[in-house]
Homo-oligomer: A and B are copies of this chain.
Amino acid sequence: MTVSLMDPTDISKTQDVETTPFPLDRWYVAALGKELTDKPLGRTLLNRAVVMYRTPDGQIHALEDRCCHRDLPLSLGTVEERGVRCGYHGLLFDGSGKCLEVPGQAKVPSKAKVSAYPVREQDSIIWIWMGSDASSEPNCEPPEYKVHSDERYRYDGDVYHYNAPYQLIHDNLLDLSHLGYVHLRTIGGNASIHMNAEMKVESEGDSVRVLRLMPGSTPPPTYTAAYPFKDKVDRWQEIVFHPSHLEIWTGAVDANTESLDDPNRGGFHLRGFHGVTPETDETCFYFWTQASNPVSNPEETMKLVIEQTAMTFDEDKVVIEAQYANMKRFPDKPMIDIHVDVGPNRARRIVDRLRGA
């Protein structure tokens, strides 16, 4: 796979702002598994209002978030063994969207039903199938994410709401050169080293892989706080883009001690899961987890890693939301590409293709 350092494809602002459709007939992240407890959870995904709930036996279900009687969101209702009960007049719906009971009425009208969405819980992530129409059924299982069950790692995560369309988060994560400008307090480091990192971009099917190596770097604050580095480090950043999520494996070893090609190398590791799911054309959800391999004081170290990761992603949110607001203030101005845009632009072409653009 060749690496082209200057990609001629412009980001078309018109597309970002005005195109409605997202890639459909695929799994998207709907929630982190820990979010679904004993209460229903309402969330708009790809412009569809969805209620998710977990019955006492642990099963999860997703329905359209409305009672078919008077439109109260079912997410304001309560969960029972047989399903979710509306909080206004008590209509009970099962996981297929069928109304099982109209309190006080002998017969349940045949029209009393709501739409259901296929959902799966896998690797502590809730995936939802977003079809192009009501008859669309999953033709595959959701993506696996084995890091969450890998004994070498501990992890935690959170859900962020973004006032920006989903592809701006793709751009941000596929181009980690911004670390030296945006994240100096945590995982940044010398801007020049980031901007001049050796970069390799590969595509395969619907995926893009960006590999960046920064030997001889000064470790940034989060790294030194979490790991006993001696001095300079050899850093790596490996970003794998999929249309529904990105996997980012970053870290460092003491400089000149281990090969960055060795999959079992030691040092400090951060393995991020980044689910990016459109809410509307202009907003999205960002589901992230961060795993690491604490070498001592694992609880304290993980607390620090998660706090600093959250701080880092807070910084990204400020930048991306400001960027989008500004894109709307300058709708007709062209953007120019620079060398770090190769990965983001490949991902945009994949998304364009998947949505039939």
Residues of A within 8 A of B (CB): 11, 13, 44, 49, 64-66, 68-73, 76, 86-91, 102-105, 109, 111-112, 171, 175, 177-178, 180-182, 191-192, 194-197, 318-319, 322-323, 326-327, 329-330, 333-340
Q: A89-B340, A90-B195, A103-B195 are known contacts. Are A330 and B72 too (CB-CB below 8 A)?
A: no
Q: A68-B335, A73-B322, A322-B72 are known contacts. Are A191 and B87 too (CB-CB below 8 A)?
A: no
Residues of B within 8 A of A177 (CB): 89, 103-104
Q: Tell me if A338 and B102 are in contact (CB < 8 A).
A: yes
> Given contacts A66-B330, A68-B335, A105-B339, could you give 18 more A-B pairs where the C-beta distance is less than 8 Å?
A69-B336, A71-B323, A71-B327, A71-B333, A71-B335, A72-B322, A72-B326, A76-B318, A76-B319, A87-B319, A88-B319, A89-B181, A89-B340, A103-B195, A104-B192, A104-B194, A104-B339, A104-B340
**In the complex, what distance in Å separates the CA atom of A87 from the CA atom of B65?**
40
Interface of A is mostly: loop
A66 contacts which of B104, B112, B333 (Cβ < 8 Å)?
B333
- How many chain copies does the complex carry? 3
A323 contacts which of B13, B70, B334 (Cβ < 8 Å)?
B70
In the complex, how many angstroms separate the beta carbon of A164 from the nearest chain B beta carbon?
A: 11
Residues of B within 8 A of A66 (CB): 326, 329-330, 333
Residues of B within 8 A of A182 (CB): 87-88
In the complex, how many angstroms separate the beta carbon of A330 from the nearest chain B beta carbon?
A: 5
9 pairs of A and B residues whose beta carbons are closest in the complex:
A104-B195, A103-B195, A104-B196, A71-B327, A105-B339, A71-B326, A72-B323, A73-B326, A49-B329
